[in-house]
Structure 1
Amino acid sequence: MQNLNEAVTLYPALGEVTPTLASLGASVLEVPAGAVLFDESAPCQGFPLVLSGEVKVSRSSGEGRFLELYRVVPGELCLVSSACLFRGLPLSAQGVTTRPTRLLLISPETFRRWLETPRFRDEVLGLFAERMADLTGLIEAIAFHKLDQRLARALLGRGQDLALTHQALADELGTVREMVTRLLRRFEREGWVLLAREHIQILNSAALRALAAAAPAS
């Protein structure tokens, strides 16, 4: 019962859906960090409601590289899962937990019935609007901002000491590790960062912020 109350607190629209969450007898799934919740081109097994933790949703390039689209945290909904269930098509991206995660997995049939509830339907449609804004921003960043600006932006806001691999940054930015390594070494030569194995120390945040905020060349 505690888990159900937690779910309704995070997703208030669940208080109005039929069948109710309590009547479903859904059990909470506890998933470790790094687990693949869903994969590209696979059928959607259900609609995830995240209670704790985080899910990273990414699209593969077909060459072993991934571009992060967005992340799902407690109280948020997954656009890819929604779109898959709306259209009855395979999933268009991969979902991987970034930390230990607790979630409820709602069956496709239940999700479609819940859409008959106006408040829940409005919440899902609102999600589409929010995520489209996020994806538009991502497209703009890829199309109009140089990789060094995007890398500087990715390094900021994580504190001064980052336990990050070059590959993790490359995956986040949708590029290859060699490009990230080359740019990080340039940043190091400029005195902006100090590199060590799976570790990056920020030495000059102001310089990184200036690069991240620089207007793209016309």
Structure 2
Amino acid sequence: MQHALPTASYPVLDALPAPARATLQAAAQWMKVAAGQVVFDDHQPCEGFPFVVEGSIRVVKCAPSGRELPLYRVAAGETCVISSSCLLGGTDYNARGVAETDTVLMLLPRQVFDTLLGEAAFRSFVFHLFAERIAGLMQLIEEVAFHRLDQRLATLLLGKGRVLHVTHQQLADELGSVREIVSRLLKGFAAAGLVRLGREQIEILDPAGLRRLAAGAM
């Protein structure tokens, strides 16, 4: 059974000439990935360019100790800059991609990806999203290098609503830290009256105080 191209999420596919769309349609490989499954990993060859049709992929950099630094997420309509760079540079993956939810992918084989780069619309799409991802990664580097972990934690809490249903381990994973350090910081936040801690729950009591902390004013 042939699937329809995901033009709603990726309008660029509609902008391709009919012969290019036909080539893509014939060569596309469809994959269903269960939540928690590794989609790609360090040192694996990149077999193609993934379009996320449903779900999302969390891309992380893994240390030998087992710690992870989250780099970015890829949802429907977005692209994976590491996949793009591996295809363009002919290198293996240097990060890990894990399905956050049950995910549907349309994989474009390497040879077809190379061919479609000859189409102005597709080339512009790839490099535009490439630039956006690089800007996001530069922001992440700035946060890790120049912002204290308590500032980054305060910023993360402010972005998730008044009551967060989340574990300390999940927050540590988001920050590229370890649970023990995040738990210690959260206890400090609670002692200062910024939050109230519960079982897998954090209630924001003083958002203005968290904003001051995030800005480095405390």
Q: Is TM (by shorter chain) over 0.5?
A: yes
CA distance in 2, matches of 1:128, 1:82: 8
Paired AA for residue 92 in structure 1: N
Q: 1:23 aligns with which of 12, 21, 26?
A: 26
Q: Is the 8 Å Cα contact of residues 29 and 108 (structure 2) preserved in structure 1?
A: no
| Unaligned runs of at least 5 residues, structure 2 | none
Residue deviations 1:130-188, cap 9 Å, x none? 11111111111111111000001111121222221211111111112111111011011
Residue 84 (structure 1) shift:
0.7
In the alignment, is the contact (CA less than 8 A) between 1:19 and 1:110 conserved in 2? Answer: no
Matches within 5 A, 1:33-52: 33-52=35-54
Q: Is the 8 A contact 1:50 1:73 kept in 2?
A: yes
- Per the alignment, in what secondary structure is the counterpart of residue 7 of structure 2? helix
Q: How far, CA to CA, are the matches of 2:114 and 2:217 in structure 1?
A: 45
Q: TM-score, normalised by structure 2?
A: 0.90
* Aligned 1:1-218 pairs, distance under 5 A: 4-5=4-5, 7-15=6-14, 16=16, 18=20, 20=22, 21-24=24-27, 26=28, 28-214=30-216
Contact 1:55 1:71 (C-alpha < 8 Å) held by counterparts: yes
Q: Which moved more, 1:96-105 or 1:14-23?
A: 14-23
- Give the residue type in structure 1 aligned to 2:26: S
Q: How many residues align?
A: 214
Preserved contact between residue 37 and residue 98 of structure 2 (Cα < 8 Å): yes
Deviations 1:82-113 (A, max 9, x none): 01111111101111122222221221222111
Gaps of 5+ in 1: none
Instruction: Give the Å deviation of 1:215.
Output: 6.1
CA contact (8 A) 1:149 1:211 kept: yes
Measure, in 2, the Cα distance between the counterparts of 1:215 and 1:38.
41
Cα drift, residue 9 of structure 1: 2.2
Instruction: Spell out, residue by residue over 1:2-46, the C-alpha distance to the aligned partner (whole angstroms, 9 max, x if none).
Output: 9524x122212223162533333x454332222211111111132
Letter aligned with residue 99 of structure 1 = T
CA distance in 2, matches of 1:113, 1:201: 52
Q: Separation in 1 of the partners of 2:13 and 2:99?
A: 23
Any idea what the Cα deviations from partners look like across 1:28-83, whole Å, max 9, x if unmatched? 43322222111111111321101122111111122111111111111111100001
- Percent of aligned positions that are identical: 48
Classify 1:81/1:104 alpha carbon distance in 2 versus 1 (closer, same or farther; 3 Å): same
1:84 maps to a residue whose letter is C
Aligned partners of 1:151 and 1:173 also within 8 Å: yes
C-alpha RMSD over aligned residues: 2.0
